[in-house]
C-alpha cells in the first residue's frame, strides 16, 4: 500500500468514526438537568432549588436513583414548575430507580425536599427531554468513486443540520 492510499484510508476512517461517534440516535432524549446528586445533611433533611432550560416546551422524563439504599430517606417531594411529584413511597420502597413523565417548559424551576433521612443518604436526579433532537445527516461522495494503487481521490461532504430543520 502506498503512502497516498494509506493517507486516504486513514482520512476515510476518521470521517467515518466522526460521523457515527458524535451523532445521537434518532429521537434520542437530551439531558436538560443533571445528573445531580442530592444529600441529606446532618439535620436529617435536604432542600434545594434549581433552574434549567429545555430546547422547547414538551414532554420529559425525570429519573431518580437511590445512591445509598442502605441509608433511608423517609419522605420527599419534588416541585417541578409548580406541580408536585410525590416520591415518598419510592424513597421508602425497595426500588432503586424511579422514572416519571413530566411536562417541561423552556425555562424550568425545581425544588427538592427530602425529609427525615439518615445523614449522608443521597439520590441522583436527571431530567431528559423526550425526542428533542434529530441526528444530523452527512453525505460523502468520492471522485472518482474508486481508485487503484497510487491514484488520488477527492472527497466531498455535505452536512445537513437536522432532519427536522
- Whether the predicted pLDDT of 146 surpasses 70: yes
- State which of 53-57, 108-112, 144-148 shows the largest mean pLDDT: 108-112
Q: Quick check: 102 pLDDT over 90? A: yes
Sign, CA torsion 104/111/114/85: negative
**The pLDDT of residue 124 is above 60:** yes
CB-CB contact of 112 with 50 (8 Å) = yes
Q: In terms of domains, do 60 and 116 share one?
A: yes
Average pLDDT over residues 86-104: 95
Distance separating alpha carbons of residues 127 and 100, to the nearest angstrom = 10
pLDDT the model gives residue 27 = 47
Average pLDDT over residues 130-149: 67
Q: Are residues 122 and 51 in the same domain?
A: yes
* Pair (11, 75) in one structural domain: no
Query: Is the same domain home to 114 and 154?
Result: no
Helix (H, G, I), strand (E, B) or coil at 59: strand
The answer to whether position 30 is within a domain reads no
Residue 161's alpha-carbon distances to 25, 56, 103, 164, in angstroms, are: 14, 17, 27, 9
| Per-residue pLDDT tens digits for 1-27 | 555 566 666 566 655 555 554 444 444
Residue with cell 423552556: 106
Is 81 a domain residue?
yes
Residue 57's domain comprises 36-129
Average pLDDT across the chain, whole number: 81
Q: Is the pTM of this model over 0.85?
A: no
pLDDT of res. 132: 47
Sheet strand arrangement including 30-39: 30-39, 122-129, 58-66, 97-104
Count up the domains in the chain and report the number.
2
Distance CA 18, CA 136 (A): 12
Amino acid at each position: 500500500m502506498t503512502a497516498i492510499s494509506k493517507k486516504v484510508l486513514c482520512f476515510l476512517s476518521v470521517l467515518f468514526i466522526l460521523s457515527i461517534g458524535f451523532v445521537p440516535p434518532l429521537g434520542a432524549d437530551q439531558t436538560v438537568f443533571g445528573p445531580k446528586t442530592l444529600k441529606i445533611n446532618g439535620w436529617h433533611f435536604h432542600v434545594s432549588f434549581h433552574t434549567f432550560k429545555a430546547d422547547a416546551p414538551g414532554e420529559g422524563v425525570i429519573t431518580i436513583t437511590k445512591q445509598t439504599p442502605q441509608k433511608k430517606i423517609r419522605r420527599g417531594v419534588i416541585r417541578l414548575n409548580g406541580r408536585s411529584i410525590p416520591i415518598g413511597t419510592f424513597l421508602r420502597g425497595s426500588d432503586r430507580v424511579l422514572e416519571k413523565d413530566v411536562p417541561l417548559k423552556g425555562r424550568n424551576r425545581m425544588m427538592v425536599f427530602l425529609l427525615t433521612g439518615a445523614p449522608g443518604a443521597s439520590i441522583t436526579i436527571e431530567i431528559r427531554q423526550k425526542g428533542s433532537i434529530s441526528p444530523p445527516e452527512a453525505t460523502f461522495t468520492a471522485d472518482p468513486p474508486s481508485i487503484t494503487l497510487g491514484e488520488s481521490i477527492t472527497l466531498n461532504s455535505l452536512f445537513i443540520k437536522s432532519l427536522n430543520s
